[in-house]
Structure 1
Amino acid sequence: MELLIPQWNAPDNVGALTTLRAGGHSPHPYDDGQGGPGLNLGVHVDDDPALVAQNRALLRRLLPQEPAWLSQVHGVTVLDAAALPPGAQADGCVSDTPGAVCVMMTADCLPVLFCDRAGRVVGAAHAGWRGLAAGVLENTVAVMRARGAQDIMAWLGPAIGPDRFEVGAEVRDEFTRHDAAAAGAFRPYEGRPGKFLADIYLLARMRLAAVDVNEVTGGGLCTVGDTRFYSYRRDKTTGRMASLVWLKS
């Protein structure tokens, strides 16, 4: 199994990782991109459920508990990873319980991991453009602060890069209605009238700065251009990676 380990200034009692495609049991089109089996962790992408269960079991060996798997709906709901209701739908989760694992699955959307400098609260958010525009990062930060988190830092995981993220004017308008400065994260797509290339990493940094989260690392990895990652935009039918964060016991 290949992993991406966040490079951030997290306390020693915070664990975090992002999975890549390689090292699982899933066949094409959920494979590793090199002809070998893939580590697809999504149960909703028409992969064989038994193989997804085997992939999740491989991941589970690295974790203190089973991750708090959610049904992600591109919204702004934030739940407690240690107390999920049945069939939980959310795009953010937090925990101040050692061992409880926050997890978000992605294949181009931006996963954001959070912790506070004291190592008391962690969080994760799934930031596709809809959730990002609607405030999923701000909501996650607010719930963490309600749990006592101070001096929050964030890590931006692999997502669609600024040279690949083609969007329409309606997406730009959604962000600029909230903050006119967000226009700086969009540039006209040459040869594609009415289309723009969006920088989801910059948009996330701007949203986080607005709620005083200024220690932000990561960013710069493009899921579309780098075949180590699953990418819906590139492949349509594909698997899902997971980004996870937890407090160590």
Structure 2
Amino acid sequence: MSEEVEVFRARALNGIAHGFLGRKGGVSTGAMASLNVGLGSTDDPALIAENRRRAVEAALPGGRLVSLFQVHSADCVTVAEPWEERLRPHADALVTDRPGLALGILTADCAPVLFADREAGVVGAAHAGWKGAIGGVTDSTIAAMETLGAQRERITAAVGPCIARASYEVDVVFLARFADADPENERFFTEGRREDHWQFDLEAYVAHRLASAGIRTVEMLGQDTYAREDHFYSFRRATHRQEPDYGRQISIIGL
């Protein structure tokens, strides 16, 4: 019997079809075991396709998956209909008001953010790595949702599994980049275990950006992708182990 697909859900998005999926419940093996959905990985494409099918059925049964060629940008795409996988736009967020579309964001330490305005019938999904987060990918998503009739005071958002502060060591150049953008950003850093290194709280920073943009309800799931190897893939963990490749998990939302 195959393992059940594991889905993490946000209370803030109750009533909206969504799911932050981990690595359980797929068909991939070895280092990619088991629900690897990364088209850019070296995994067998047939296994990836089956994993993506399972992920959609767990989050939005019967939905049609729409994903991106993610590039750590602040760009957001409005989706009216699905596109072929080979034609995926280069962007890092999607929004739609069309039923049946499963907006999918892939991560392996970066923060997935799911959005919904229930009254307007508009949803969004964003890939917020540190570059996209400081660049304003969540702001772009909110603005794109507003063009479809959403109102930011009604939008709820959830920040899904990502690398946690305890696992995310950065150097002085990284810290300076955030401090130069806003000196108050230093509150998202604590002293690291090594000299001239700090621990960065990506999840809290993304939540701060959402709240600063006027989002009144922001939920953080508090799941560390680096530390919880049995549940999540992690780019940084694979890098530290000098592994040749790594899997990706997906977060999905739809109407």
Find the aligned partners of 1:178 and 1:89 in 2 and give their Cα distance: 25
Mapping 1:217-236, distance limit 5 Å: 217-227=219-229, 228-236=231-239
Find the aligned partners of 2:107 and 2:254 in 1 and give their Cα distance: 18
Give the drift of 1:119.
5.1
Amino acid at match of 1:98: P
**TM-score, normalised via structure 1 length:** 0.90
Find the aligned partners of 1:195 and 1:183 in 2 and give their Cα distance: 13
Give 1:208's match in structure 2, choosing from 201, 207, 210: 210
Structure 2 residue runs without a partner (length 5+): 240-244
**TM-score, normalised via structure 2 length:** 0.88
Give the aligned CA root-mean-square deviation in angstroms: 1.6
Q: 1:26 touches 1:39 (CA, 8 Å); kept in 2? A: yes
Alpha carbons of structure 1 residues 195 and 48: separation in structure 2 relative to 1, 3 Å: same
Alpha carbons of structure 1 residues 10 and 20: separation in structure 2 relative to 1, 3 Å: closer
**2:53 matched residue in structure 1:** 57
How many residue pairs align between the two structures?
A: 239
Deviations 1:86-109 (A, max 9, x none): 331110000111111111000110
**2:66 matched residue in structure 1:** 68
**1:240 matched residue in structure 2:** 248
Structure 1 residue runs without a partner (length 5+): 32-37
Give the drift of 1:165.
0.6
Q: 1:68 touches 1:82 (CA, 8 Å); kept in 2? A: no
Alpha carbons of structure 1 residues 104 and 39: separation in structure 2 relative to 1, 3 Å: same
Matched, 1:157 2:160: yes
Matched, 1:44 2:40: yes
Alpha carbons of structure 1 residues 183 and 148: separation in structure 2 relative to 1, 3 Å: same
**2:190 matched residue in structure 1:** 187
**2:242 matched residue in structure 1:** none
Give the drift of 1:61.
3.2
**1:78 matched residue in structure 2:** 76
Find the aligned partners of 1:98 and 1:166 in 2 and give their Cα distance: 40
Q: 1:10 touches 1:117 (CA, 8 Å); kept in 2? A: no
Q: Provide the secondary structure at the position in 2 that maps to 1:24.
A: coil
When you count helix as a share of all residues, which structure comes out higher?
2
**1:92 matched residue in structure 2:** 93
Find the aligned partners of 2:71 and 2:125 in 1 and give their Cα distance: 15
Deviations 1:39-82 (A, max 9, x none): 10001111111211121222343433221121101011101233
Find the aligned partners of 2:56 and 2:155 in 1 and give their Cα distance: 27
Give the drift of 1:11.
5.7
Q: 1:76 touches 1:91 (CA, 8 Å); kept in 2? A: yes
Q: 1:64 touches 1:100 (CA, 8 Å); kept in 2? A: no
Give the drift of 1:177.
2.4
Q: 1:110 touches 1:158 (CA, 8 Å); kept in 2? A: yes
Find the aligned partners of 1:214 and 1:179 in 2 and give their Cα distance: 22
After superposing the two structures, state which structure 1 stretch, 139-148 or 52-61, moved more.
52-61
Q: 1:3 touches 1:17 (CA, 8 Å); kept in 2? A: no
Find the aligned partners of 1:94 and 1:55 in 2 and give their Cα distance: 23
